[in-house]
């Protein structure tokens, strides 16, 4: 019942399970205010979708959720289009390299391994940092001390770089090089991991570029649309690993789940949410790590020979 055949993944999945997966990740992303790609792609891999298809399809699904998010941000005037464009230029360059790298790894049969390893390292580091930070915040809140704000207005090494541009919406006059580099790194991750990369982009914009927090999320969401769109097209063209049927099912689930997530998120304090998200991120990292370390029940695998291998 409700089995649906995915034409590119060439396997049959349960429609309700995939809708539920999309909704669950949408719920979490609405609740925690994150894109959710870094949860969706590993979940797809856990449910038996081949890693390279999970990555490409994840990027396509993020196009849908980020369009939704960016529309709301745009209505509130929270997008710095100029900064967004610079980030996109860097992002597209990173995406090209990521897709090419993935193609080489796929032909060597190592794509799954490297994707998993990168996830373990990235999620482990980010989850650890977040958990540490949020536990500290929770303790301070219990002790009745005020939350420590960041110290604004400090100049750092970034302000000494050439190629300066004015970003009126962010009230910044800085070199274009740091946003290009940040965009490039995030574009690479989008292609390689099927994530939007907001979890890297947002802290980088706040702490490195010192953009005002109110435009950071809008600008990040805006650039994610374009970079994930470019990645989707590149994966389809060079890796034939995009399953549009799966992407649409996940997007449908995600849009609905996201609405409930936003409401659920309002019931918790910010640092509690961050601690929960951190635990979840660490759990995903651990599960991926176990899959790599534990002896697999089946050592052998068969796969079709890809052209060029």
Partner 1 sequence: MQAALALALLFATLGVGPVAAADPAPTPREEVVSDISTREISIQSNFNGIEILIFGSVDFSGAAVPGKDIYDVVVVLRSPDQAVVARRKERMAGIWVNGIGKIYPTVPGFYAVLSSRPLRAITSDETLKTLGIGLNNIDFGRVTKSGPDEETFRSTVIRLKEQQQLFQEHDDGVAFVGRSLFRASVDLPVNVPIGRYTADVYLFRDGQVVSKNQSTLEVTQAGLDRAIYLMAFNRPLLYGLVAVLLAVLAGLAGWAAFRRE
SS3 174: strand
36 Rama class: left (phi>0) / alpha (psi -120 to 50) / beta = left
Q: Give the one residue of 45, 63, 92, 202 binding partner 1; rule: CB under 8 A.
A: 63
Report d(CA 19, CA 246) in Å as an integer. 9
Q: Check residue 73 for interaction with partner 1 (CB under 8 A).
A: no
CA atoms within 13 A on the CB side of 72: 8
60 touches partner 1 (CB under 8 A): yes
Element (H, E) at 112: helix 111-143
CB of 84 to partner 1, least distance (A): 16
Shortest spacing between CB 180 and partner 1, in angstroms: 23
- Helix, strand or coil for residue 103? helix
Q: For partner 1, how many residues bind (rule: CB under 8 A)?
A: 58
For residue 273, give every residue at least 6 positions away whose Cβ sits within 8 Å of its Cβ, in sequence order, or none: 31, 32, 33, 265
Spatial distance between the Cα atoms of 85 and 87, rounded to a whole number of angstroms: 5
- Does 110 participate in binding partner 1 (rule CB under 8 A)? yes
- Identified binder of partner 1 from the candidate list 20, 104, 113, 129, rule CB under 8 A: 113
d(CA 30, CA 169): 26
Number of alpha carbons in the 13 Å side-chain half-sphere of residue 20: 7
**Residue 53 host element (H or E):** helix 51-75
CA pseudo-torsion sign 133, 182, 73, 54: negative
104 binds partner 1 (CB under 8 A): no
Is position 220 an interface residue for partner 1 (rule: CB under 8 A)? no
C-alpha 131/C-alpha 278 separation (Å) is 5
CB atoms within 10 A of CB 37: 28
User: Applying CB under 8 A, does 300 fall inside the site for partner 1?
Assistant: yes
Q: Which residues contact 228 (CB under 8 A, 6 or more apart)?
A: 59, 60, 62, 63, 66, 190, 196
Least separation in angstroms between CB 256 and partner 1:
8
* Torsions phi, psi for 11 (to 5 deg): -145, 165
x/- letters, 160..199, toward partner 1 (CB under 8 A): ----------------------------------------
Asked if residue 33 binds partner 1 (CB under 8 A), the reply is no
Task: For the segment 227-266, give every residue that binds partner 1 (CB under 8 A).
Answer: 229, 232-238, 240, 242, 244-245, 247-248, 251-252, 255-256, 258-259
Output the smallest distance, CB 34 to partner 1, in A. 16
**Candidate ranges 79-87, 157-165, 276-284, 295-303; the one touching partner 1 (CB under 8 A):** 295-303
How many angstroms separate the CA atoms of 65 and 152, rounded? 32
- Decide if residue 301 touches partner 1 (CB under 8 A): yes
CB of 303 to partner 1, least distance (A): 5
Which among 144-152, 179-187, 207-215, 294-302 is the span making contact with partner 1, rule CB under 8 A? 294-302
Using the minimum distance from each CB to partner 1, give the nearer residue, 53 or 174. Answer: 53
| Residue whose CB is less far from partner 1, 1 or 143 | 1
Positions in the binding site for partner 1 (CB under 8 A): 3-5, 7-8, 10-12, 60-61, 63-68, 71-72, 75, 109-110, 112-113, 117, 225, 229, 232-238, 240, 242, 244-245, 247-248, 251-252, 255-256, 258-259, 292-296, 299-305, 309
């Amino acid at each position: 019942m409700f089995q649906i055949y995915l034409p590119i993944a060439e396997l049959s999945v349960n429609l309700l399970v995939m809708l539920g997966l999309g909704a669950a990740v949408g719920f979490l992303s609405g609740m925690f205010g994150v894109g959710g790609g870094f949860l969706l792609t590993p979940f797809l891999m856990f449910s038996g979708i081949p890693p390279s298809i999970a990555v490409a399809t994840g990027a396509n699904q993020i196009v849908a959720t980020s369009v939704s998010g960016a529309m709301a941000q745009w209505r509130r005037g929270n997008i710095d289009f100029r900064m967004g464009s610079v980030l996109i230029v860097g992002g597209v360059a990173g995406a090209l390299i990521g897709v090419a790298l993935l193609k080489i790894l796929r032909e060597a049969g190592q794509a799954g391994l490297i994707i998993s390893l990168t996830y373990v390292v990235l999620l482990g580091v980010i989850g650890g940092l977040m958990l540490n930070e949020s536990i500290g915040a929770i303790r301070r809140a219990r002790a009745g001390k005020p939350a420590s704000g960041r110290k604004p207005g400090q100049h750092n090494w970034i302000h000494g770089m050439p190629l300066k541009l004015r970003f009126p919406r962010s009230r910044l006059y800085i070199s274009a090089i740091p946003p290009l580099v940040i965009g490039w790194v995030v574009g690479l991750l989008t292609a390689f991991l099927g994530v939007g990369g907001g979890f890297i982009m947002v802290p980088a914009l706040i702490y490195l570029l010192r953009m005002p927090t109110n435009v950071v999320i809008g600008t990040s969401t805006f650039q994610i649309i374009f970079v994930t769109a470019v990645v989707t097209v590149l994966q389809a063209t060079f890796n034939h690993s995009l399953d549009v049927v799966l992407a649409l099912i996940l997007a449908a689930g995600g849009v609905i789940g996201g609405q409930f997530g936003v409401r659920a998120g309002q019931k918790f304090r910010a640092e509690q949410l961050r601690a929960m998200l951190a635990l979840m991120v660490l759990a995903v990292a651990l599960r991926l790590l176990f899959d790599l370390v534990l002896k697999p029940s089946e050592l052998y695998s068969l796969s079709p020979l890809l052209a060029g291998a």
